[in-house]
Amino acid sequence: MKVTLSKRLCLTAMLTLGAIVYTASASADTSKLIIESGDGAQSKQNAAMDKEQWNDTRSLRQKVNTRAEKEWDKTDVAFDSRDKCEQSTNLNAYWEPNTLRCLDRTTGRKLVP
């Protein structure tokens, strides 16, 4: 297969034109370049405000965590008490789900199984 000189020139011209069009569309016009290191006064002020808010809400977060821990402990103790009440040898013992206590059927008093 013979490739003539005119075919080579045509192919080279087409490849060159395609490369020029590709590089022209890929380049962007950038006249300014701004590099911010993050040490500006505004970013420092924002960081200080965020830290202050975090510190202010610390006691509230601790209260919420303490409350959740107390609720968990209460549920855990009630679960253990319910098991003990249901496994009790006392036939009059029953578990009261509203008060989370083991009660005596005849007297209504709290039992310790």
pLDDT at 46: 86
Which sign does the torsion angle of CA 106, 110, 112, 113 carry?
positive
pLDDT at 42: 80
Separation CA 75–CA 66 (nearest Å): 14
Separation CA 8–CA 54 (nearest Å): 71
Residue 102 binned pLDDT confidence (cut-offs 50, 70, 90): very high
How many percent of the chain have pLDDT more than 90?
Answer: 27
pLDDT at 12: 79
Provide the β-strand partners of residue 101: 96
Q: How would you label 75-109 residue by residue, b for 16+ Cβ within 10 Å and e otherwise?
A: eeeeeebbeebeebeeeebebeeeeebbbeeeeee
**Per-residue model confidence as pLDDT tens digits over 15-71:** 776 767 666 555 556 677 666 666 778 888 888 898 988 888 998 999 999 999 999
Residue 1 binned pLDDT confidence (cut-offs 50, 70, 90): very low
Helices in 27-110 by DSSP H: which ranges?
41-56, 58-86
**Rounded to the nearest 5 degrees, what angle is found at the Cα of 112, between the Cα atoms of 107 and 113?**
105
